[in-house]
Amino acid sequence: MLLQMGVPVGPELLVLNLLVAAIVAYFTYRDAEKRPGVNAALWAGVMGLASLLLSLVGFLVVFAIYYFVVVRKG
């Protein structure tokens, strides 16, 4: 049903999340290069990984776990 409506699910969301993480990492790297005494590659990697892990997909996984573990027991 969702695919017929044009809502991105599955591989499309993964590609979108990877794209957003890469953009965040790129702009973080560019900003960190301008600051003295900062490891720009480390900051870019950390921010890209955080962006990927804290994305909508990550939120949905955490919410599903919370729902099945906490809400259903209560």
Show the domain range for 52. Answer: 2-71
Please report where in the chains the tokens 């044009």 appear, as a residue. 6
Mean pLDDT in the chain? Answer: 77
Please report where in the chains the tokens 């573990």 appear, as a residue. 69
Whether 12 shows a pLDDT value over 80: the answer reads no
Please report where in the chains the tokens 């990550």 appear, as a residue. 58
Whether 41 shows a pLDDT value over 90: the answer reads yes
pTM over 0.75: no
**Cβ neighbours of residue 13 closer than 8 Å, sequence gap 6 or more:** 56, 57
Whether 4 shows a pLDDT value over 80: the answer reads no
pLDDT recorded at residue 1: 46
Whether 32 shows a pLDDT value over 90: the answer reads no
Nearest residue to 56 via CA among 45, 64, 44, 67: 64
Query: Which tokens sit at 33?
Result: 């290069």
Say how far apart CA 43 and CA 27 lie, in whole Å: 10
DSSP one-letter code for 55: S
User: For the chain, what is the domain count?
Assistant: 1
